[in-house]
Amino acid sequence: MPDAPHRTRTRRPTAVLLNPRDTVIAAAEKLGLALVVVVDPGQPRPPATGAPEIEVAWTRDSADLVARLRESAFPGPVSCFGFGEIGASVAAVVNGELGWPGNPPYAPAALKNKAELRALVGDKAGVPVAYALAATPGELLPAMVKVGFPCIAKPVDGTGSSGVQYIADLAEAEQYAARLNWQGPLLVEEFLSGAEYSVEAMSSASGHRILAITEKITTGMPHFVESGHTLPVRLATETEAAISDLVGATLDAAGHCYGTSHTEVMVTPAGPRLIESHGRPGGDRISDMLNLALGEDVFAQSMAAVFGLPVQDAPSRNRVAGIRYVTFDRPVLTQALSTSLVASLPGVEEVRITASAGRQPAAVAASGDRHGFVLAVADTRGELENHLAVAVRTLTAGT
């Protein structure tokens, strides 16, 4: 149990952090917050901070965490923070149960459930996207016929492109339904064609501020796994305004009022269309790229917004960052890894190989299947693309 809050006389805010990354801890310390670190023994252990720790399986039992925190005495304002898909939901439940400031529990729940979000948003965020919910296997084909072809089928609460499937026509739909290992409700949506982006935003008492529009690269049909991101990118003024309106309407509909968010949109001939939204930072190192390129620390800003501290209102840097995922068509050998060489190349901030050494890498059907990545930063888009191309070429040639 945390006993430091009992001993200290400070009234500075306390951040209860759920298995925090090092960047989250650094952000809280930068704000001068008192810390309590919650450690789930089934998750990677966070860096040591010297702060009080609570060890509890919070990813599976939020009630136990609430009970442990209810026993603690905190001298000043306190709020719980989680910056992953599960963490954001658990933090909202904890804050709701204990009367602490933060997003209401229904907000992350609405953002996580793609069908519920579609219903809440309706026509508030531009042209509605046709969709149907298949709650049982028997409802799947009728849902596809209702939406029309081509369409997309995906888990209602999935992440990382897991389970996303493009369906071209009725014959393909019948084949898909026949071989599907049913895992739960599926959302069927109209297929959107255009240029895909994600929108990183920050919500506070002042409203929703767009931090950056992120250009996406995907593997395309049938799974659309993300294979690269670049931020920030600039679009036509009217397009950016329409995207900003779409994001604000989506977050308002879900009830998201504090902290960072990540909304995916497709810019179509009919204008921006909503794909999905999340009440957390974008994955794939997008939060790191925001800081590298623009000086936007989404973790510090999220905690500051909840505690009513000043929140940054403009970028402090003017650079561009990008990440590219690599694919190996042969086994990766440990003795031939060239990550150190790649890490020393101009602009490279991080390089990692995630494929198992000595094995043929799996085909990429979801984000977790990707084989490795290179993250870089530069002063211009052209310079960035050159840095990334050289780094990817060096990495793939040296393994």
Give the tens place of pLDDT for each residue, 190-239: 999 999 999 999 999 999 999 999 999 988 888 888 889 999 999 999 99
367 within a domain of the structure (yes/no)? yes
pLDDT at 355: 80
Indicate whether 232 and 290 sit together in one domain: yes
CATH code, domain carrying 95: 3.40.50.20
68-101 pLDDT, tens digit per residue, is: 999 998 989 999 999 999 999 999 999 999 999 9
Q: Are strands 165-167 and 195-204 parallel, antiparallel or unpaired?
A: unpaired
Indicate whether 216 and 311 sit together in one domain: yes
pLDDT at 335: 47
pLDDT at 363: 82
332 DSSP assignment: B
pLDDT at 399: 56
> CB–CB of 241/271 below 8 Å?
no
What residues have CB less than 8 Å from 241, skipping those under 6 apart? none
Indicate whether 186 and 226 sit together in one domain: no
What residues have CB less than 8 Å from 377, skipping those under 6 apart? 289, 292, 293, 319, 320, 321, 322, 347, 349, 384
Indicate whether 325 and 305 sit together in one domain: no
Between the alpha carbon of residue 320 and those of residues 214, 271, 379, the distances in Å are 10, 25, 6
Residue 275 has pLDDT above 70, yes or no: yes
C-alpha–C-alpha distance, residues 231 and 350, integer Å: 16
pLDDT at 160: 62
Average pLDDT over residues 350-357: 86
Buried b (16+ CB within 10 A) or exposed e, 123-136: eebbeebebbbbee
Q: What is the pTM of this model?
A: 0.90
Indicate whether 291 and 338 sit together in one domain: no
| Average pLDDT of the chain to the nearest whole number | 91
For residues 146, 147, 150, 153, the Cα torsion angle rounded to the nearest 10 degrees is -110
C-alpha–C-alpha distance, residues 193 and 185, integer Å: 24
Indicate whether 18 and 100 sit together in one domain: yes
Average pLDDT over residues 34-48: 94
Indicate whether 79 and 145 sit together in one domain: no
> CB–CB of 200/290 below 8 Å?
yes
pLDDT at 220: 81
Residue 142 has pLDDT above 60, yes or no: yes
Per the structure, the complete domain to which residue 88 belongs is given by 4-109
116 within a domain of the structure (yes/no)? no
Number of domains in the chain: 4
With tokens 């190996």, the residue in question is: 328
Indicate whether 310 and 199 sit together in one domain: yes
177-187 pLDDT, tens digit per residue, is: 999 999 889 99
Element (H, E) at 43: none
Residue 357 has pLDDT above 60, yes or no: yes
170 within a domain of the structure (yes/no)? yes
CATH code, domain carrying 368: 3.30.310
CATH code, domain carrying 205: 3.30.470.20
pLDDT at 204: 96
With tokens 């519920």, the residue in question is: 116
C-alpha–C-alpha distance, residues 54 and 61, integer Å: 13
Percent of the chain with pLDDT over 90: 78
C-alpha–C-alpha distance, residues 141 and 94, integer Å: 39
pLDDT at 371: 86
Indicate whether 22 and 74 sit together in one domain: yes
> CB–CB of 108/82 below 8 Å?
no
The closest of 78, 64, 188 to 136, measured between CA atoms, is 188
Residue 10 has pLDDT above 70, yes or no: no
pLDDT at 329: 74
Task: Give the range among 169-178, 244-253, 301-310, 332-341 with minimum mean pLDDT.
Answer: 332-341
pLDDT at 144: 97
pLDDT at 2: 43
Provide the residue count of the chain: 399
Domain stop point among 190, 206, 238: 190
Residue 287 has pLDDT above 90, yes or no: yes
121 within a domain of the structure (yes/no)? no
Task: Give the range among 3-12, 208-217, 236-245, 354-363 with minimum mean pLDDT.
Answer: 3-12
Indicate whether 266 and 184 sit together in one domain: no
123 within a domain of the structure (yes/no)? no
Domain stop point among 289, 318, 347: 318
Indicate whether 252 and 201 sit together in one domain: yes
Domain stop point among 302, 318, 334: 318
Beta-bridge partner residues of 278 = 262
C-alpha–C-alpha distance, residues 259 and 299, integer Å: 8
217 within a domain of the structure (yes/no)? yes
295-322 pLDDT, tens digit per residue, is: 999 999 999 999 999 999 999 999 999 9
CATH code, domain carrying 145: 3.30.1490.20
122 within a domain of the structure (yes/no)? no
Indicate whether 199 and 180 sit together in one domain: no
The closest of 305, 181, 162 to 224, measured between CA atoms, is 162
306 within a domain of the structure (yes/no)? yes
20-34 pLDDT, tens digit per residue, is: 999 999 999 999 999
What residues have CB less than 8 Å from 345, skipping those under 6 apart? 387, 390, 391, 394
Residue 9 has pLDDT above 60, yes or no: no
Which contacts (CB < 8 Å, 24+ apart) does range 97-102 have? 97/66, 98/66, 98/69, 98/70, 101/77, 101/258, 101/306, 101/307, 102/258, 102/306
